[in-house]
Amino acid sequence: MPVTETSPLAYFFTEDAWKRLGVRLRLTRRELDVVRALCSEHRESRVAAALNVSPHTIRTHLERIHTKLGVTSRTDLMLLLLGTFLVLTAEPGSKLPPICGRHSAGHCPFCP
């Protein structure tokens, strides 16, 4: 992934988490590249430059991603990613680290 990750999501999503998110959401490799770049808070033009495609191509990918995932905005997309990540971390046997610091310390009343 050629885009530098600066988003808060970058702190939670390891390479393994991104792969699992892509599988769970049934994203193609390129769709996942676009989503990761957008999570880095880059404008579409910067994402296009980083991925070596035109801004129009990025907009086309975004339209298809939105349709595929049933979201209507970048905010909805980010919320879907975070929600899916939380589900993945809570699955039995998951090796993904939870976001909840209390869970990590064994003190969270909401985490199993």
CATH number (domain holding residue 91): 1.10.10.10
What is the value of pTM for the model shown?
A: 0.78
48-107 pLDDT, tens digit per residue, is 988 999 999 999 999 999 999 999 998 899 899 989 998 898 888 888 777 666 655 666
24-35 pLDDT, tens digit per residue, is 999 999 999 999
d(CA 13, CA 58): 22
- Residue 67 token pair: 């349709």
Question: Which range of residues forms the domain containing residue 96?
Answer: 8-105
d(CA 50, CA 54): 10
* Inside any domain, residue 112: no
d(CA 87, CA 23): 13
> Residue type at 55?
P
Q: What is the mean pLDDT of residues 45-49?
A: 89
